[in-house]
Structure 1
Amino acid sequence: MADTTRKSGSRRLARERIALLFVRAAEFYPENPEWSNRCVKLARKIGMRHRIRIDRPLKRRFCRRCSAYLVSGSNARVRIHRGCVIVTCLTCGHRSRYPVGRPQQP
């Protein structure tokens, strides 16, 4: 049997679907956060099935532990501490730490 998930066209289509699901998650969040969480779970499943990485800006919009769509001030706490941005999911309590980049000097 041929593996259809490794074709370049299907990977491109998968990236488009992942991006579309994150757009839908942002639209659904104010009225129903559970739909947003479902969109994130579907996007992660598509990424795992096709073995593609979710882009960095999109990756920082959901909790890696519980797959909740994160909105700062609503279900996520964002703090800066010692050169790191700390995003705390208020659903499960998981903390993600991202380094704050310094500007390059010419």
Structure 2
Amino acid sequence: MAKRKHKKKAVAKEIALERIKYLFELADREYPTDPDRSDRYVSLARRIGMRYRVSVPPELKKRMCKSCSSFLTPGSNCRVRLKGGLLIVTCQKCGNIQRYLFSKKKKP
């Protein structure tokens, strides 16, 4: 009985991750015409992740603001700066600052 429940949870987590990725694709497509709708898609993706305890993939996590749950598009509603090994993303909507480490890869 326990194995069956464990399999159901694993399947639910896989479906939740697919839905999160799809919602981010929709948000990317809808942003030029309706930014509010893309913000809604991102907040839905965040809620799905919390509900099923699935983390949003790191490449998608950088596309959303942690404080206001808006879809971030560089040059449009967020500012991106590189400073001393850090990638600094500033949300223009709420002013939240997110810092990510990045490595400088040297070309041979």
In the alignment, is residue 84 of structure 1 matched against residue 86 of structure 2? yes
Distance 2:87 2:37 in 1: 27
Q: TM-score normalized by structure 2?
A: 0.88
User: C-alpha offsets along residues 48-78 of structure 1, whole Å, 9 cap, x if unaligned?
Assistant: 0000110000000000000010000000000
The aligned counterpart of 1:58 is 60
TM superposition shift of 1:102: 4.0
The aligned counterpart of 1:23 is 25
TM superposition shift of 1:100: 1.5
TM superposition shift of 1:101: 1.6
What amino acid maps onto 2:54 in structure 1?
Answer: I
Distance 1:7 1:49 in 2: 12
Distance 1:35 1:103 in 2: 37
Tell me the secondary structure at the aligned position of residue 69 of structure 1: coil
Distance 1:82 1:93 in 2: 21
In the alignment, is residue 42 of structure 1 matched against residue 75 of structure 2? no
Q: TM-score normalized by structure 1?
A: 0.90
Percent of aligned pairs with the same amino acid: 44
Q: How many residue pairs get matched? A: 101
TM superposition shift of 1:83: 1.2
> Which stretches of structure 1, 4 residues or longer, exceed 2 Å deviation after superposition?
none
TM superposition shift of 1:32: 0.4
Tell me the secondary structure at the aligned position of residue 7 of structure 1: helix
Distance 2:84 2:104 in 1: 13
- For the aligned residue pairs, the C-alpha RMSD in angstroms reads 1.7
What amino acid maps onto 2:76 in structure 1?
Answer: S
Which 5+ residue runs of structure 2 have no aligned equivalent?
none
Which 5+ residue runs of structure 1 have no aligned equivalent?
none
TM superposition shift of 1:11: 0.6
